[in-house]
């Protein structure tokens, strides 16, 4: 069985996942629906494919734990691969990722989400069911920090799904299982590494949750993911992971440090023919904090319903906003080389919106057909050497204004 050819076939079909089980038809998940292929590998074929995929240490860990999680690039497609032992033998669950960097605009997300990462410290939760795009949204939030602020970003993931390359920020990525034995140890290490922003790939146990809350309270901006369907459910699950006698203290700690909660699900929209994230967004407003402090999570629905003016979004209100949009497009991303640091446009924030591109020997990329002439007039070309120098960028902007 050729995994590279299988990933190429899945990508061509627009699949998000591949499921492989010996003696069973290989199955793709396309737009949320399962689709069987005319391919039935036997146990030996699957075993050979897995052995070729894993290195010696990963193969040994698989035999010990009976499962393994790795990230690989197959047919130019970044993949998260879960290998498992089952009744029929070795099986595979492969999630097809993008080898490129997701952005808020490229994922058709509301621009207000950028405010989540403008906080100096606190906790941002991204939650949703498996396969709802939590990791992509979290990566887009980190990218927003990376291109707009000079901060130290540390990500703790299992495995690393998106490779982040420094723009204005300094970026360090660690993979649990390879670079650290656990999320708990990785968090303890990270707090000694002078971070400004932390990404916790998943909070799975009370120890990791407590360390995450402590980090958010002690001057760090922490982005973490959870599996739950709503914002209230995410907060309730976090608090419920602790013993009853300390839950009031956890509620107070959570109320003090919460920046916001993003709960998301994917919905297929026939007009553009794509699946688009629908969100529920709870901000850490005074009303929300009061409810959380009391542990009365059932009241958060009322806070969301009545808090539109405060920036809260219910799923229905967000769906109405999506209905009014006429520019929904297939998810797009910024190109990133897997092996070399990204050397793309530097995001700056002048008084008037100005897009930045750098000069090069190759012809510039063709602007989208829908781009207006006014947008083209605001393109500032920088020399190659100045692309990462904010002083040079600002000087060029001042010169353009004159």
For the stretch 144-187, pLDDT in tens is 999 999 999 999 998 888 888 899 999 999 999 889 999 999 99
Q: Is the pLDDT of residue 367 over 80?
A: no
Chain-wide mean pLDDT for the chain? 84
For residue 155, list its beta bridge partners: 173, 199
The beta-strand segments (E) located in 305-367 are 333-334, 355-358
Q: How confident is the model at residue 273 (pLDDT cuts 50, 70, 90)?
A: confident
Q: What percent of the chain has pLDDT over 70?
A: 82
Do residues 262 and 228 make contact, with C-beta atoms less than 8 angstroms apart? no
Q: What percent of the chain has pLDDT over 90?
A: 67
Task: Map out the domains of the chain as residue ranges.
Answer: 3-96, 101-324, 343-401
- Round the CA-based radius of gyration of the chain to a whole number and report it: 22
- Which CATH architecture is the domain 101-324 placed in? 3-Layer(aba) Sandwich (3.40)
Helices (H) and strands (E) in the chain, counts: 13, 17
Q: How many Cα atoms within 13 Å fall on the side-chain side of residue 322?
A: 26
Q: Is the pLDDT of residue 337 over 60?
A: no
Q: How confident is the model at residue 14 (pLDDT cuts 50, 70, 90)?
A: confident
Task: Answer whether CATH 3.30.450.90 is correct for domain 3-96.
Answer: yes
Q: Which residue has the tokens 């074929």?
A: 45
Q: What was the pLDDT predicted at 130?
A: 86
Angle at 31 between CA 129 and CA 158, to 5 degrees: 45
Helix axes 286-294, 247-257, angle to 10 degrees: 170
Pick the residue with more confidence: 363 or 230?
230
What is the CB neighbour count within 10 angstroms for residue 334?
Answer: 15
Q: What is the pLDDT of residues 206-246, one digit of tens each?
A: 999 999 999 999 999 999 999 999 999 999 999 999 999 99
- The pTM of the full predicted model, rounded to 2 decimals, is 0.76
For residue 91, list its beta bridge partners: 84
Under 8 Å CB-to-CB from 103, ≥6 apart: which residues? 140, 143, 144, 332, 333, 334
Do residues 236 and 297 make contact, with C-beta atoms less than 8 angstroms apart? yes
**What is the distance between the alpha carbons of residues 85 and 249, in angstroms, rounded to a whole number?**
41
User: Looking at residue 313, what DSSP letter applies?
Assistant: B
């Amino acid at each position: 069985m050729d995994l590279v050819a299988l990933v190429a076939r899945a990508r061509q079909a627009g699949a998000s996942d591949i499921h492989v089980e010996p003696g069973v038809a290989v199955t793709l998940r396309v737009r949320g629906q399962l689709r069987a292929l005319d391919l039935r590998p036997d146990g030996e074929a699957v075993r050979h494919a897995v052995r070729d995929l894993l290195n010696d240490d990963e193969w040994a860990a698989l035999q010990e734990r009976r499962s393994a999680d790795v990230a690989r690039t197959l047919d130019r497609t970044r993949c998260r691969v879960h290998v498992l032992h089952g009744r029929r033998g070795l099986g595979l669950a492969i999630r097809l990722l993008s080898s490129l960097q997701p952005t808020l605009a490229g994922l058709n997300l509301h621009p207000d989400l950028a405010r989540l990462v403008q906080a100096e410290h606190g906790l941002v939760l991204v939650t949703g069911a498996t396969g709802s795009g939590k990791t992509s949204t979290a990566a887009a939030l980190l990218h927003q920090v990376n291109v707009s602020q000079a901060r130290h970003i540390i990500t703790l993931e299992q495995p690393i799904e998106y490779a982040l390359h420094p723009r204005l920020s300094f970026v360090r990525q660690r993979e649990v299982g390879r670079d650290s034995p656990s999320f708990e140890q990785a968090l303890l290490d990270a707090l000694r590494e002078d971070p400004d922003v932390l990404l916790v790939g998943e909070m799975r146990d009370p120890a990791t949750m407590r360390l995450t809350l402590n980090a958010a309270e002690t001057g760090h901006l922490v982005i973490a993911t959870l599996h739950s369907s709503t914002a209230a459910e995410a907060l309730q699950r976090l608090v419920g992971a602790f013993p009853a006698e300390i839950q009031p203290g956890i509620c107070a700690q959570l109320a003090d440090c919460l920046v916001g909660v993003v709960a998301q699900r994917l919905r297929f929209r026939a007009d553009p023919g794509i699946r688009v994230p629908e969100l529920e967004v709870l901000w850490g407003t005074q009303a929300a904090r009061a409810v959380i402090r009391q542990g009365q999570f059932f009241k958060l629905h009322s806070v969301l319903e009545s808090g539109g003016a405060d920036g809260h979004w219910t799923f229905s209100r967000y769906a109405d906003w999506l209905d009014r949009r006429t520019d929904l497009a297939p998810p797009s991303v910024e190109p990133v080389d897997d092996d070399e640091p990204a050397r793309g446009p530097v995001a700056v924030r002048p008084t008037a919106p100005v897009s930045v591109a750098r000069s090069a020997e190759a012809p510039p990329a063709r602007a989208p057909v829908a781009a207006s002439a006014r947008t083209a007039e605001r393109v500032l070309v920088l020399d190659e050497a100045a692309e990462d120098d904010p002083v040079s960028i600002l000087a060029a902007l001042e010169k353009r204004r004159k």
